[in-house]
Amino acid sequence: MSRARLERALPAGDRLLLDTTTLAAYFDATEVTHPVARHVIDELVASGRNPAVVSMVTVMEVLVRPLRASPPGHHTVLAFLRHVPNLEAVPLGVEMAQEAASLRAVYRFSPPDALVIGSGIACQVARLVTNDGDWARKLARHADRIGVCMLRDYLPFG
C-alpha cells in the first residue's frame, strides 16, 4: 500500500524537485529506498504524471562518485539527466540566485542548500522528493511554498 500512499502524497500534475539523495538512491540498487526512488522517476516523472526538475548543485553532486570510479561512469549519469522524459536539469539564473540569497539571508541556509531550494521555488515545484531528514525541518517554514516527500516514509515499498 506504500505505492498508493506515495501517489497520494505526490498528486498528479504536481511538479517535483528531486534532490541528490533521491538520484543517489535511484542509481544505487543496494540503497534501501531505491524502489521508491525508481518508482518516482520511472513511473511518475518519466510518464509525465509529475514533471520534475533537478538543480545544477544536484547535477554536480551526482557526478562526483562516478567521476571518481575507475573507469569513470559519469557518462551514464549524464545520459540519464539528458534523456529521461519530463526531467529537467535547470540552469542557474538570476531568479534562482535571488531566491537562494533570500533563503540564506533570512534562514541561514548553506549556499548549496539555498541553491537547490531556490531552484525549486523559482521553478514553482510543489514538493521536494528527498531522503534527507534535515529537509523537513529546514523547510517547515516554507510549507506553503514547497512541501517535502521523504522516500523512507514509504518503506517497505510494494
- Closest among 32, 35, 45 to 3, alpha carbons compared: 35
141 pLDDT exceeds 90? no
| Model pLDDT, residue 144 | 87
Q: Let me know if residue 47 belongs to a domain.
A: yes
Q: Which domain holds residue 82?
A: 1-93+126-154
CB of 49 within 8 A of CB of 116? no
Find the range with the poorest average confidence among 6-15, 111-120, 138-147. 138-147
pLDDT over 90, % of the chain: 81
pLDDT digits (tens, 9 = 90+) for 54-81: 999 999 999 999 989 878 888 999 999 9
CATH code of the domain containing 148: 3.40.50.1010
Three-state DSSP at 158 gives coil
Is residue 118 one of the residues assigned to a domain? no
DSSP state of 73: -
Number of domains in the chain: 1
Residue 54, domain member (yes or no) = yes
**Cβ atoms within 10 Å of 18's Cβ, excluding its own:** 26
Task: Give the whole-angstrom CA distance, residue 66 versus residue 87.
Answer: 20
107, pLDDT greater than 90: no
**pLDDT given for residue 71 in this prediction:** 81
